[in-house]
Amino acid sequence: MRMAMAGSLWKSSCSCSYTCSLVRVIGVSRTSSGAAAAILHASSLFPPPSMALKIQRKSSLTKWRWSQQQPQLPEDRNSNAFFFIRSSKYGTNSISTDGGKGYLESTDQELMSQCEMGTFKTSGPGGQHRNKRESAVRLKHLPTGIIAQASEDRSQHMNRASALSRLRTLIALKVRNAVDLDGYSPPRELLQILPKSSSIRTSDIGNQIGPNNPKFVYGMQALLDLLYAVDGSVSEAAKFLGLSTGALSRLILSDDSLRLAVNELRASEDMKPLR
Amino acid sequence: MKLSLTPKLSTFLKPSLASTPLRRSLCSSSPSPPPPPISLKPQTPLFLRPPIHSATSSDLQQWQDWAKTLASSVGSTFANSDNGPDSTLLLRELNWLVDDAVQQGIENGQRKIRLRVSLEELYLLWKQRIEERKPFQYIVGCEHWRELVLCVQEGVLIPRPETELIVDLVGDVVKGEEGLREGLWADLGTGSGAIAIGIARVLGTGGGRVIATDLSPTAISVAGFNVERYGLQDVVELRKGSWFDPLKDVEGKLAGFVSNPPYIPSDNISGLQAEVGRHEPRVALDGGVDGMDDLLHLCKGAASILKPGGFFAFETNGEKQCKYLVEYMENEARGSFCNLSIIPDFAGIHRFVTGFHK
Ligand SMILES: C[S@@+](CC[C@H](N)C(=O)[O-])C[C@H]1O[C@@H](n2cnc3c(N)ncnc32)[C@H](O)[C@@H]1O
């Protein structure tokens, strides 16, 4: 069942502070509670993500990004998630650069409307007919195929909110935007997560936003975009951010999911992991 | 008529606990004042009972093993017979039962297990769950709905996840609309009080109020308990009576009204999942021959109860009822309503009809 929400309907009234620790790209990664998982996997029509990512990692000249197109869902809708990668040359300025940022900037209800929601078994007329405690929620973000689940709460509403917040983290971690390094200037959301020691951070940026703040994901996405553009080199990225290499490393290490994502990238570039 | 709660409830719930989820901060062990009439005394849900029973960990383990075996033996038989729960769901419920009934802690350096019901009762409760198909929520006496934990008991409909959306619909229309946010709202057929409490919380402190009605005295008493637990007794007023009857004094004054009335066609009642058909109140489910009796009654009254610009939202059985209602409101009540819309639930089923009084 495709969700077609009319107008502005869904909004999370709770703010979920949870850090997603998904970072392994393949298979299931667990959150601290162990109850929720984000699964990313490829359809048989496509190379499994491990392969796709290897391609991505091989060449430092070619950048890849997630397709923004809606994947054609195969017949078998039970076969978990699909996640589609499309290649594109970086550096020709021909790529639109708003992919993942667009998703992240969506309101909760917009994001929700891009998702298919399954409570793991939905059948029949629902409503007053049913009492099944189907509180577990599985959101599939149709444009990217990213899946976020939550089942640790007894309320479906709370699980929807957690799944949505997880989805945002996953989008930030997985969806890359091309960055033009010539004349690069960090977007505001990235400046906001930088420590005050950054020489390009002006006082109007305000206090540093930490990993527990829901806004952290926006900066995290922009930071990963930059790190991908410099092939995982923390010292290169640090220069663009007016930080010492050590200060940027500390920032990366302050959030588990960010650290793991950066180390994945570095491993693919044959660099040592940050610790 | 404002419902006066038993002194017991009002004293132990007021006022310091206002509007926070009260899961652990309450207990019901205060000495009891003279008992109110039976039907008006809500049962205390498991998780609010004092942990006065003890058990050894091996006895508890034995119960749990027995309960797991019982749940596993169900396999998919319930699912196949009436779309009921399978073992996986039952095992998850078992964990929640343990969450609500068992308190584990360390006393004097020793692991101690305290129970909110006796071990014998735990055996009985799980037997009722599996053998009688008693809904899990009646076993533990509560349902987790939105960010709330609502007390429920036999005689009161267990609020459904689909219905959570009604509160969001109201949240959206009152955003930036002070006239609506600070106005008077009604939830007709409130059951456990779920929607009324949800709405009261989105209206916030701007002076908006909610009248919650029900025909069932049990519903009124349980809703009263829940309203007090969330410290909303000054915002939500309970009135007993049939649909618009208890609202004569506010005719033409409501900023909005919502309802999830009984909407299942009478014919379908006998085929319902056992948890629903055998245990939930028929008066909460049966909407007459085509399930539309109460919905139509509500539609007919909508124009006179709402003030100009007032909002309404109804939950329905699905697409057929939604379409019928919208057509009805367009044709019969020509000119009274605008912005009629049909809104799907999260499973994509056309579930709600909303609109505004012109
Ligand atoms: C489907 S339940 C909904 C309960 C609650 N609002 C919820 O969403 O969980 C319908 C409710 O309408 C009440 N009801 C049935 N007939 C009624 C009537 N004539 N007047 C007022 N309430 C009625 C029932 O007692 C029941 O609580």
Residue B190: CB within 6 Å of ligand 1?
A: yes
B148-151 and B209-214 strand pairing = unpaired
Shared-domain flag, residues B260 and B193: yes
**DSSP letters for B234-276:** TTEEEEESSTTGGGGGGTT-EEEEEE----B-HHHHTTS-HHH
Q: Indicate the DSSP class of residue A209.
A: P
Instruction: Tell me the C-alpha distance between A177 and A100, whole Å.
Output: 6
CB contact under 8 A, A127 and B162: yes
ipTM here? 0.76
**DSSP letters for B195-218:** HHHHHHHHHTTSS-EEEEEES-HH
Q: For the CA atoms of chain A, what is the radius of gyration?
A: 19
Query: Which residues of chain B are modeled with pLDDT < 50?
Result: 1-32, 35-38
Shared-domain flag, residues B62 and B185: no
CB contact under 8 A, B172 and A11: yes
Shared-domain flag, residues B15 and B105: yes
Residue B354: CB within 6 Å of ligand 1?
A: no
**Structural domain includes residue B36:** no
> What is the reported pLDDT for A233?
95
Show Cβ contacts of residue B13 under 8 Å, excluding neighbours closer than 6 positions: B22, B26, B228, B229, B231
> Helix (H, G, I), strand (E, B), or coil: what is residue B147?
coil
> What is the reported pLDDT for A10?
30
**Structural domain includes residue B37:** no
Residue B198: CB within 6 Å of ligand 1?
A: no
**Structural domain includes residue B322:** yes
Shared-domain flag, residues B103 and B20: yes
User: What class does CATH assign to A100-174?
Assistant: alpha beta
Instruction: Tell me the C-alpha distance between A94 and B293, whole Å.
Output: 60
What is the domain-level CATH number for residue B164?
3.40.50.150
**DSSP letters for B74-88:** HTTHHHHHHS---HH
**Taking an 8 Å Cβ-Cβ cutoff, which residues of chain A contact chain B?**
1-11, 13-14, 117, 119, 122-135, 153-158, 160
What spacing in Å lies between the alpha carbon of B193 and ligand 1's midpoint?
10
Q: Which helix (H) or strand (E) holds B65?
A: helix B57-74
Residue A148, CB-side half-sphere exposure with 13 Å CA sphere: 29
What spacing in Å lies between the alpha carbon of B214 and ligand 1's midpoint?
6
Show Cβ contacts of residue A185 under 8 Å, excluding neighbours closer than 6 positions: A200
Per residue in B307-317, pLDDT tens? 999 999 999 99
What spacing in Å lies between the alpha carbon of B225 and ligand 1's midpoint?
17
Residue with tokens 């058909």: B277
CB contact under 8 A, B273 and A6: no
Instruction: Tell me the C-alpha distance between A154 and A18, whole Å.
Output: 17
CB contact under 8 A, B147 and A157: yes
**Structural domain includes residue B335:** yes
> What is the reported pLDDT for A177?
86
Shared-domain flag, residues B132 and B171: no
Residue where a domain terminates, one of B100, B124, B144: B144
Shared-domain flag, residues B86 and B103: yes
Q: Which of A130, A154, A158, A159 to mutate to test the interface with B (most CBs of B within 10 A)?
A: A154
- Chain centre to alpha carbon of residue B22: 17
Shared-domain flag, residues B222 and B157: yes
- Which of B136, B137, B273 lies closest to A130 in CB terms? B273
Instruction: Tell me the C-alpha distance between A272 and A87, whole Å.
Output: 26
Shared-domain flag, residues B194 and B118: no
Query: Which residues of chain A are modeled with pLDDT < 50?
Result: 1-98, 120-121
Shared-domain flag, residues B75 and B219: no
**Residues B135, B123 contacting (CB under 8 angstroms):** no
> What is the reported pLDDT for B240?
98
> What is the reported pLDDT for B40?
67
Shared-domain flag, residues B193 and B306: yes
Which residues in chain B are closer than 8 Å to A126, comparing Cβ atoms? Answer: 160, 162, 345, 347, 349, 351
Residue B234, CB-side half-sphere exposure with 13 Å CA sphere: 9
- Chain centre to alpha carbon of residue A95: 19
Shared-domain flag, residues B261 and B179: yes
Residue where a domain terminates, one of B144, B167, B186: B144
Q: Where are the beta strands (DSSP E) in chain A?
A: 27-30, 37-40, 62-66, 85-89, 115-118, 137-141, 146-150
Return the structure tokens found at A182.
């010539």
Instruction: Tell me the C-alpha distance between B328 and A81, whole Å.
Output: 42
* Domain carrying residue B240: 153-357
Instruction: Tell me the C-alpha distance between A218 and B167, whole Å.
Output: 29
> What is the reported pLDDT for A116?
82
Q: Which of B145, B346, B349 to mutate to test the interface with A (most CBs of A within 10 A)?
A: B346
> What is the reported pLDDT for A27?
27
**Structural domain includes residue B35:** no
Minimum Cα–Cα distance from B344: chain A residue: A5
Whole-structure pTM over 0.80, yes or no?
no
What spacing in Å lies between the alpha carbon of A57 and ligand 1's midpoint?
59
Q: Which of A115, A128, A138 to mutate to test the interface with B (most CBs of B within 10 A)?
A: A128
Residue where a domain terminates, one of B144, B171, B195: B144
Q: Which regions of chain A carry the CATH code 3.30.160.20?
A: 100-174
Shared-domain flag, residues B100 and B242: no
- Taking each continuous run of H as one helix and of E as one strand, the counts in chain A are 9, 7
Q: For the CA atoms of chain B, what is the radius of gyration?
A: 22
A62-66 and A85-89 strand pairing = antiparallel
Instruction: Report the domain count for chain B.
Output: 2
CB contact under 8 A, A127 and B351: yes
Establish whether the linkage from the previous residue to B15 is cis, with ω within 30° of 0.
yes
